[in-house]
């Protein structure tokens, strides 16, 4: 009788353990955080771009920077200002939600880039790894900016325009090449339909 009782208990344990295997929570959220330090002598205006390198099926991800954005948005519309010598610890959150499927076993890889709004060539990135076994909340190494182009005056409205004009051949509306950068007296950078254009006077 005791042996029969032991067999029954053992069977119940197996059933319970088996059921637990299939009772994994399939709505698990993982978060990443990073602190941004401005070591420059000027205010730093930053926006964020998300790059999805590896995204398992049955998962969604989104991020917050100033505001929180839906999963289909990869570039923040908010620009956060970090004053000289200050550190931002609050504005960035990366969220990754596991909803079953491949996301239960695979690791997601998402890169977040913090970009100077006054010169897109001044940026810093970090890559977050998300998995079911990973921590619920991860703080990544601090990102430090030593330069802010928002406080730097050039012969054009911002550093990005200057770099584009110096490193690329420029033509006028008649197809004539502008030989010298010094020929250009003023440039205005603008974005239309997601593409960057420069309006120049010379």
73 and 143 fall within a common domain: yes
End-to-end CA gap in the chain: 101
Read off the pTM: 0.66
165 and 143 fall within a common domain: no
Segments in the chain below pLDDT 70 = 1-26, 151-202
pLDDT at residue 201 in the model: 53
111 and 186 fall within a common domain: no
pLDDT at residue 118 in the model: 86
138 and 185 fall within a common domain: no
In a domain? residue 80: yes
pLDDT at residue 162 in the model: 60
83 and 133 fall within a common domain: yes
In a domain? residue 99: yes
- How far apart CA 120 and CA 99 sit, in angstroms, is 35
In a domain? residue 91: yes
Q: Which domain holds residue 81?
A: 28-148
104 and 38 fall within a common domain: yes
Residue whose pair of structure tokens reads 């008649």 in the numeric block: 174
pLDDT at residue 198 in the model: 55
């Amino acid at each position: 009788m005791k042996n029969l009782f032991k067999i029954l208990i053992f069977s119940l344990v197996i059933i319970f353990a088996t059921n637990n295997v299939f009772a994994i929570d399939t709505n698990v959220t993982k978060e990443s955080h990073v602190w941004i330090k401005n070591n420059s002598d000027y205010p730093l205006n930053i926006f964020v771009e998300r790059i999805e390198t590896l995204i398992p099926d049955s998962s969604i991800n989104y991020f917050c920077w100033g505001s929180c954005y839906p999963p289909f948005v990869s570039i923040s519309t908010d620009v956060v200002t970090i004053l000289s010598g200050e550190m931002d610890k609050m504005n960035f959150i990366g969220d990754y939600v596991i909803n079953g499927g491949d996301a239960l076993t695979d690791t997601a890889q998402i890169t977040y880039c913090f970009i100077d709004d006054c010169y897109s060539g001044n940026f810093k990135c970090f890559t977050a790894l998300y998995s079911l076994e990973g921590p619920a909340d991860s703080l990544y190494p601090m990102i430090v900016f030593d330069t802010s182009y928002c406080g730097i005056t050039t012969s054009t409205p911002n550093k990005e325009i200057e770099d584009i004009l110096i490193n690329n051949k420029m033509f006028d509306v008649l197809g004539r090449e502008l030989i010298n950068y010094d020929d250009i007296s003023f440039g205005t950078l603008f974005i239309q339909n997601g593409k960057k254009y420069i309006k120049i006077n010379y």
